[in-house]
Structure 1
């Protein structure tokens, strides 16, 4: 059954990175269409990072039986994977700083998710890999924070009346810890 837990964890990791990559590419296209090239370029960069993570997870999953899950069978703490930017959090005139803050939130949410899996599973291999992924996400968050620290502050930048208000998400703020994913639940006799 430990292989089943590892497989379910890895399929969640593949989906998490796939969703992040897809969303960042969508957002890059939207921003480019609105002429917000610095943010479009940043979202493309983040899509590239997600693509590298996806390749890493795929490499680790070689030889592991991955279950075929339907979209509604994934167990996330929110509607989408922890590293997926909400459409509600983006608007066409957002600054590079605001885009980086969203990405920082995503990296931290992914780190929390992986750390939670690592501490919740009774399978040592799943815990080890989840901790490795959490450490990697923490490193990415630290890199983004360093970039943000060197970026000039936004001067009175507010969304206009034509777009949604910019809302950064608060990962798992309302329900922490989230319900234990079934694939982590201890096995019954």
Structure 2
């Protein structure tokens, strides 16, 4: 087996971090929604965390025994402030519907797919290009499955986030 290139090692380090961040954020969201008794959405986010965990295991297996670089947070080359598959805290709401959660996840799957596709397009070496393309295709499959599931869900009502018991603040 030939030695892994620096480009491939950096790609795998990014893929591991991307999936770890996705797992961690979906777990945080699941815990938060469960604490607010939004069980349906919490269960969905937990399933997304498990999917990210499976992807991380796959990438970790590919990287096993390889000297991946230990990058600092600011050394990752993300298109935004966080890893592409990391859902923002600001996008979540304790009363979010399953549709809203799936739309959020769909955007994250597409973001991860675009990241991997960009890496494939910019790769200078065949091994990195092939692996990044495979990852992009896998993210596209996940996005397609979510898009199909969304078709079966009702539209979100404008009243979905109306608080039945708004906080009472002292004047």
Structure-to-structure mapping, 1:18-29, within 5 angstroms = 18-29=20-31
Bigger RCO (CA 8 Å, 6+ sep): 1
Task: For 2:72 and 2:156, locate their aligned partners in 1 and report how far apart those are by CA, in whole Å.
Answer: 42
Residues 107-135 of structure 1 deviation map (CA, whole Å, 9 limit, x = unaligned): 00000000000001111100000000000
SS in 2 for 1:68: coil
Q: 1:53-92 to 2 correspondence within 5 Å?
A: 53-92=55-94
C-alpha distance in 2 between matches for 1:15 and 1:66:
11
- Does the aligned pair in 1 maintain the 2:4–2:66 contact within 8 Å? no
Whether the 8 Å CA contact 2:33–2:42 is kept in 1: the answer is yes
Alpha carbons 1:11, 1:66 under 8 Å: kept = yes
Larger Rg: 2
TM-score (norm 2): 0.90
Aligned-partner SS, 2:5: helix
Instruction: Tell me how large the CA RMSD over aligned residues is.
Output: 1.7
Gaps of 5+ in 2: 167-171
**1:158 Cα deviation after fit:** 4.2
Structure 1 partner of 2:138: 136
CA shift, 1:73, in A, is: 1.1
SS at match of 1:63: coil
**2:151 matched to which residue of 1?**
149
**Equivalent position of 1:184 in the other structure:** none
CA distance in 1, matches of 2:66, 2:114: 24
Structure 1 outlier segments of 4+, above 4 Å: none
Secondary structure of the residue aligned to 1:93 is: coil
Alignment of 1:22-37 (within 5 A): 22-37=24-39
Matched with 2:169 is: none
Runs (5+) with no aligned partner, structure 1:
163-189
- Paired with 2:78 and 2:145, the residues of 1 have a C-alpha distance of 25
Aligned length: 163
